[in-house]
Structure 1
Amino acid sequence: MKFYIGSSFANTHQVRELAAFLKEQGFRQTYDWTSNSRAEDAEELRSIGEADFAAVKEADFVVILLPAGKGSHIELGLALGFGKRVYLYAEEDLKDSPAEASTFYFLQQVIHLSGTFEELKKELIKRECITESR
């Protein structure tokens, strides 16, 4: 099973931690955008955008860690458009803060996960192992 994790540069540590955990469980990351520095020109933006696009398309599931940047919201839209399983993680339940949420967070296809980061890891493994065994 292949995964992609979208978030903001501010969450790089969490993205790397979750990716390492999922890889230890036998999953494969389609692209590690955290190895990039911030793009400085249009050519770099295009190159990164193409890599992100291909990675979301290749993934079996996509995890968006909130708070997320503008690119992550585009990745969320791509994942939904490609029919991927989408997990949206926030420490607090998104229903408790609708003013900070996007309308797309509440689409039926988006699976909300909240709680501690350790709980997120366990829940992803549980859900994806069930999916894989079907």
Structure 2
Amino acid sequence: MKFYVASSFNNIDQVRYISEKLKSLDHIHTYDWTQNERAATLEDLKQIGQLEKDAVAEADFVVVILPGGKGSHIELGIAIGLNKKIILYSPDQSIYNFTTTSTFYHLPEVEKFIGTLDELVDNLVTM
């Protein structure tokens, strides 16, 4: 299965951990944005945006690791719009905090997962 992992630069270690675990189980990572340097120009942003958009479209499922940044929320929107399987990961119950949550986190097509990264991987491989 093909996958994409969306999150913020602050979560690069978690994104890499999930990605490596899934690749070791013969899943295909559609794009590894963690290998990028931060964009320095508008042209960089355009190229990276296209690569990420294409990667979400190519993926069988999209994992969104919270807390996310603005880019990961756009990727979530693309995944919702393309009817992708979406797993929204939070290490704690903060996803249910009414003052900080997003309406889109609670759509029926968004599967919420709370737990450890290893539990998330176990869940992903049994989908």
TM-score w.r.t. the length of structure 1 is 0.92
Deviation (angstroms), 1:48:
0.2
**Counterpart in 1 of 2:51?**
51
Query: SS state of the match for residue 40, structure 2?
Result: coil
Structure 1 stretches of 4+ with a deviation exceeding 3 A read none
How far 1:116 moved relative to its partner? 1.2
Tell me the equivalent position of 2:67: 67
User: Tell me, what secondary structure is at the counterpart of 2:71?
Assistant: helix
- Paired position in structure 2 for 1:80: 80
Q: Secondary structure at the match of 2:64?
A: strand
Amino acid at match of 1:125: V
Compute the displacement of 1:118 (Å).
Answer: 1.3
Which residue number in structure 1 is paired with residue 112 of structure 2?
Answer: 112
TM-score (ref. length: structure 2): 0.97
CA distance in 1, matches of 2:32, 2:58: 13
**DSSP 3-state at the match of 2:113:** strand
User: Quick check: which one's helix share is greater?
Assistant: 1
1:42 match = 42
1:98 offset after TM fit, Å?
2.2
* 1:73 aligned partner, one-letter code: H
User: How far apart are residue 99 of structure 1 and its match?
Assistant: 1.5
Q: Which residue identity lines up with residue 73 of structure 2 in the other structure?
A: H
Distance in 1 separating the partners of 2:111 and 2:53: 21
Q: Deviations over 1:23-57 (max 9, x none)?
A: 01110000000000111110000000000010000
Q: What are structure 1's unaligned runs of at least 5 residues?
A: 128-134
Q: How far, CA to CA, are the matches of 1:84 and 1:48 in structure 2?
A: 20
SS class of match (1:20): helix
